[in-house]
Chains A and B, each alone.
Chain A
Amino acid sequence: MTKMTTEEAFIKVLQIHGIENAFGIIGSAFMPISDLFPKAGITFWDVAHETNGGLIADGYTRATGKMSMVVAQNGPGITGLVTPIKTAYWNHTPLLLVTPQAANKTMGQGGFQEVEQMNLFKDMVCYQEEVRDPSRMAEVLNRVIEKAIRGSAPAQINIPRDYWTQVIDIELPPIVRLERQAGGVEAINKAAKLLSEAKFPVILSGAGVVIGGAIEDCKKLAEKLDAPVCSGYQHNDSFPGSHPLAAGPLGYNGSKAAMELISKADVVLALGTRLNPFSTLPGYGIDYWPKNASIIQVDMNSDRIGLTKKSNSRNLWRCKISFTATFK
């Protein structure tokens, strides 16, 4: 056990996870931590508007693969983060959302800058937790960061602001990084069988291929199967454009060649994509989604398997596998 302040505990956990950048507008509600940023090696990017701050954080992570944090004053600073946090959610961006809350001592009295910040982000994050006791600052922050990484989405820590500047006696929590699960044996065998018997397999590569660092693996697999690769809507960077098997993006204003190719597929291998509606809606009057093809969907989130697109029921097949683990 070590004696430290709640803000020191908070900063130490940020350091353990290598979070070097924070975006927001300065406010009294988090000054005990911003005060320590320079000492800790954390850069505070003081933006002109919280909404931009959140989107800057999204851009930072999408370009680097590293996580950052977004922080703001309780109340009106925090409400400005709704749009960017939900944006980051659908960009599958792991992000630490720090929401200092009106003080527990007065919460519920309709005081200054008071709003229900947990309800506000309920539908915007993959995980949220409020610190219920000052001694739990490090534990909760560590869990929230882990959850953001596991869920590849924003996660929120809500902190009653009167929990800062308290002395606690704690042990810093350990990092528990999970390896992503590979698909089950049965699922992988079925996928292999479908693909080896396919007459015209087509790969659809999505954001997960970028986020999972699996572009090389996707390329190898495409070459092995001699399968053209379509990209998901707005994920033009999920396959090398100069590769002979690259077909371009599907969806709104996408590539006609990609649409025509996938429409002929008898097996679609959908990698790192939830098959969102914008990647599957008709474009240029071409209703390209191959309704009778077998779909092999690979997504880190099993809730999204088969959510939007079904294969014919005989071949309907589900799996939850990670990209790299599967192809190597």
Chain B
Amino acid sequence: MLTGLDHEEDDKGTVWNKEARERDRDRMSPRQAWRAIQAGMPEDVIISSDIGNNCAIGNAYPTFEKGRKYLAPGLFGPCGYGFPSILGAKIGCPNTPVIGFAGDGAFGISMNEMSSCARKEWPAITMVIFRNYQWGAEKRNSILWFDDNFVGTELDPELSFAKVANACGSKGISVKTMEETTKAIKQSCEDQKKGITTFIEVILNQELGEPFRRDAMKKPVRVAGINKSDMTPQKTNN
């Protein structure tokens, strides 16, 4: 059902996804990345996921033959679940290939664990970071209900998670095509057997899928109006 789908739709009156495709023509869409990832996943793999648009787009893709294989963040919905939970899975199942997934924002919340997990006592994992340079899931809400007013949705475009990974003593790579992605997933799972942890930064276009909470959102109206000139400076003792 999903195999034919490549791109995310825009709601009537919005153009974000169309423009995102045109802006970065050479980059993969989230769905293309997911298909490339699936093509490289070993049998018997345990995967984790995170709260975020790219992870959520993938929610319907993975199927499993056994239980205890899919660790999604669940109903509390914390960003920053994908990386630590997959570390725990590997600690419990050291001989099973594992792949963690997180968006670049959510990964940032948990990335301090890069500084602990490369030590030789810790088992090796693969961690995929969906790099779209934005807190995408929330950004989709700004597009749909807040007229593209992007407050707090942009991430640092200069940051390289792959470089951070290398600096931590793990393997860090950055992939841009479907072919590279499939290859990197396969290689990293082989490398887990040799004790090598790989962080794969998957560079994506900025397309965004369905918002989480259509049910809970509505377009705000201005009633009293808000003016900058009403801002009152604080008094301090300095």
Q: Tell whether, in the assembled complex, residue B59 and residue A249 are in contact, meaning their CB atoms are under 8 Å apart.
A: yes
Interface residues of A (CB under 8 A from B): 21, 23, 45-49, 51-53, 55-66, 83-84, 86-87, 89-91, 209-210, 213, 215, 233-238, 240-242, 246, 248-249, 252-257, 276, 278, 281-284
Using a CB-CB cutoff of 8 Å, which residues 2-16 of chain B contact chain A? none
| Range class of the B interface residue count | 35 or more
* A63 vs B47: C-alpha distance when bound (angstroms): 10
Q: Give the chain A neighbours of B66 by CB distance below 8 A.
A: 215, 237, 240
Q: Tell whether, in the assembled complex, residue A252 and residue B92 are in contact, meaning their CB atoms are under 8 Å apart.
A: no
CB within 8 Å for A60 and B210 given contacts A55-B84, A255-B1 = no
Q: Give the chain A neighbours of B112 by CB distance below 8 A.
A: 48-49, 52
Q: Is there a chain A Cβ closer than 8 Å to B150's Cβ?
A: no
Some 9 contacts from A to B, beta carbons below 8 A apart, are: A21-B92, A55-B84, A63-B68, A63-B88, A91-B74, A234-B74, A236-B59, A240-B64, A284-B210
| B115: min CB distance to chain A, Å | 5
| A162: min CB distance to chain B, Å | 30
Q: Give the chain A neighbours of B84 by CB distance below 8 A.
A: 47, 51-53, 55-56, 59, 84
Q: Give the chain B neighbours of A241 by CB distance below 8 A.
A: 63-65
Q: Give the chain B neighbours of A252 by CB distance below 8 A.
A: 56, 59, 210, 212
Q: Give the chain A neighbours of B93 by CB distance below 8 A.
A: 63-64
Q: Give the chain B neighbours of A281 by CB distance below 8 A.
A: 215
Tell which of A64, A89, A249 touches B68, judged by Cβ atoms closer than 8 Å: A64
Tell which of B67, B72, B88, B212 touches A234, judged by Cβ atoms closer than 8 Å: B72
Q: Tell whether, in the assembled complex, residue B70 and residue A59 are in contact, meaning their CB atoms are under 8 Å apart.
A: no
Using a CB-CB cutoff of 8 Å, which residues 24-48 of chain B contact chain A? 46, 48
Q: Tell whether, in the assembled complex, residue A56 and residue B91 are in contact, meaning their CB atoms are under 8 Å apart.
A: yes
Q: Is there a chain A Cβ closer than 8 Å to B226's Cβ?
A: no
Q: Tell whether, in the assembled complex, residue B65 and residue A253 are in contact, meaning their CB atoms are under 8 Å apart.
A: no
Q: Give the chain A neighbours of B83 by CB distance below 8 A.
A: 52
* A258 vs B173: C-alpha distance when bound (angstroms): 37
CB within 8 Å for A48 and B116 given contacts A56-B91, A242-B65 = yes
Q: Is there a chain A Cβ closer than 8 Å to B154's Cβ?
A: no
* A235 vs B68: C-alpha distance when bound (angstroms): 9
Q: Tell whether, in the assembled complex, residue A66 and residue B91 are in contact, meaning their CB atoms are under 8 Å apart.
A: no
| A236: min CB distance to chain B, Å | 5
Q: Tell whether, in the assembled complex, residue A237 and residue B92 are in contact, meaning their CB atoms are under 8 Å apart.
A: no
Tell which of B59, B68, B209 touches A210, judged by Cβ atoms closer than 8 Å: B68
Tell which of A62, A234, A237, A249 touches B85, judged by Cβ atoms closer than 8 Å: A62
| B82: min CB distance to chain A, Å | 9
Using a CB-CB cutoff of 8 Å, which residues 58-109 of chain B contact chain A? 59-60, 62-76, 78, 80-81, 83-89, 91-93, 96
CB within 8 Å for A87 and B76 given contacts A47-B113, A60-B92, A282-B215 = yes
* A234 vs B49: C-alpha distance when bound (angstroms): 9
Interface residues of B (CB under 8 A from A): 1, 46, 48-49, 56-57, 59-60, 62-76, 78, 80-81, 83-89, 91-93, 96, 110, 112-116, 122, 209-210, 212, 214-215
Residue of B nearest to A283 (CB): B210
Q: Tell whether, in the assembled complex, residue B78 and residue A87 are in contact, meaning their CB atoms are under 8 Å apart.
A: yes
Q: Give the chain A neighbours of B49 by CB distance below 8 A.
A: 234
* A209 vs B70: C-alpha distance when bound (angstroms): 13
Q: Tell whether, in the assembled complex, residue B88 and residue A57 are in contact, meaning their CB atoms are under 8 Å apart.
A: yes
| B93: min CB distance to chain A, Å | 5
Q: Give the chain B neighbours of A236 by CB distance below 8 A.
A: 59-60, 62-64, 70
User: Which of B57, B64, B76, B84 lies at the interface centre, i.e. has the most chain A CB atoms within 10 A of its CB?
Assistant: B84
Nearest 6 interchain pairs by C-beta: A241-B63, A59-B88, A59-B85, A60-B88, A63-B89, A234-B72
* A252 vs B55: C-alpha distance when bound (angstroms): 12
Q: Give the chain B neighbours of A278 by CB distance below 8 A.
A: 75
User: Which of B48, B63, B89 lies at the interface centre, i.e. has the most chain A CB atoms within 10 A of its CB?
Assistant: B63
| A301: min CB distance to chain B, Å | 14
Tell which of B60, B64, B87 touches A254, judged by Cβ atoms closer than 8 Å: B60
| A124: min CB distance to chain B, Å | 10
Residue of B nearest to A93 (CB): B74
Q: Tell whether, in the assembled complex, residue B91 and residue A253 are in contact, meaning their CB atoms are under 8 Å apart.
A: no
Q: Tell whether, in the assembled complex, residue A237 and residue B68 are in contact, meaning their CB atoms are under 8 Å apart.
A: yes
Q: Tell whether, in the assembled complex, residue A63 and residue B59 are in contact, meaning their CB atoms are under 8 Å apart.
A: no
Q: Give the chain B neighbours of A66 by CB distance below 8 A.
A: 92
Tell which of A49, A57, A86, A283 touches B113, judged by Cβ atoms closer than 8 Å: A49
Q: Tell whether, in the assembled complex, residue A276 and residue B60 are in contact, meaning their CB atoms are under 8 Å apart.
A: no
* A192 vs B174: C-alpha distance when bound (angstroms): 55
| B2: min CB distance to chain A, Å | 9
Q: Tell whether, in the assembled complex, residue B68 and residue A52 are in contact, meaning their CB atoms are under 8 Å apart.
A: no
Tell which of A23, A60, A83, A256 touches B89, judged by Cβ atoms closer than 8 Å: A60
Residue of A nearest to B88 (CB): A59
Tell which of A48, A237, A276 touches B70, judged by Cβ atoms closer than 8 Å: A237
CB within 8 Å for A255 and B60 given contacts A56-B85, A87-B78 = yes
